[in-house]
């Protein structure tokens, strides 16, 4: 008994003539499709990461201003005048007249509470950090609300305004 196997014949792709090198059109189109899909997923993620990084930069500025204001309030030990932006501008790295950072990307504001009486020996009020229009920080507003009970950080990523205590997102 004899067993025979039938193997289908395959024709090989035509050989390239000498001197032809490179990729076929199909290989290029598949590569382009893969790169397009990857870029479509990566670009929105990148934009989110850059917005997060800019927000972190603004929060760091608010934190340094808070530290400087706490130091100023402790030095004055409850005596007037209340510590304001001009008192801490150099420590916070902003222009004392405008509150703008040296790179022109952020504006810092300090709003101590109004009312009479001596200030407490610690800063209480609102520290605002907003992005400058036309800069990469445009559309970012951060508010550090400090009270005798503690502090709350609020962020708004849609407008160049300091969010109130009940506005924006916790950040």
Q: How many CB atoms lie within 10 A of CB 131?
A: 23
pLDDT band of 81, cuts 50, 70, 90: confident
Domain count within the chain: 1
Conformation bin of residue 11: beta by default, left when phi > 0, alpha when psi is -120 to 50: beta
Look at residues 170, 134, 125 and name the one whose alpha carbon lies nearest to residue 152: 170
pLDDT band of 9, cuts 50, 70, 90: low
| Residue 31 clears pLDDT 90, i.e. is over it | yes
Asked, for residue 106, whether it belongs to a domain, the answer is yes
Asked, for residue 74, whether it belongs to a domain, the answer is yes
Asked, for residue 102, whether it belongs to a domain, the answer is yes
Asked, for residue 142, whether it belongs to a domain, the answer is yes
Tokens of 52: 């997060």
Range of the domain at 106: 56-170
Q: Longest Cα pair distance anywhere in the chain, in angstroms? A: 115
Asked, for residue 39, whether it belongs to a domain, the answer is no
The answer to whether the predicted template modeling score (pTM) of the entire model surpasses 0.85 is no
The pLDDT assigned to 131 comes to 94
Q: In degrees, to the nearest 5, what angle opens at C-alpha 58 toward C-alphas 69 and 90? A: 40
């Amino acid at each position: 008994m004899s067993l025979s196997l039938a193997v289908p014949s395959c024709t090989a792709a035509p050989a390239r003539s000498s001197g032809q090198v490179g990729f076929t059109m199909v290989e290029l189109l598949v590569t382009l499709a893969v790169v397009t899909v990857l870029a479509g997923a990566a670009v929105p993620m990148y934009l989110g990461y850059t917005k997060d990084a800019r927000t972190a930069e603004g929060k760091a500025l608010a934190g340094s201003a808070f530290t400087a204001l706490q130091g100023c309030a402790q030095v004055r030990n409850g005596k007037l005048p209340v510590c304001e932006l001009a008192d801490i501008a150099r420590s916070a790295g902003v222009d004392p007249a405008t509150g703008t950072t040296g790179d022109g990307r952020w504006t810092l504001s300090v709003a101590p509470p109004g009312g009479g009486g001596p200030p407490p020996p610690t800063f209480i009020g609102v520290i605002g950090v907003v992005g400058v229009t036309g800069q990469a920080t445009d559309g970012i507003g951060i508010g550090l609300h400090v009270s005798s009970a503690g502090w709350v950080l609020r962020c708004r990523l849609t407008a160049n305004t300091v969010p109130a205590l009940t506005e924006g997102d916790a950040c």
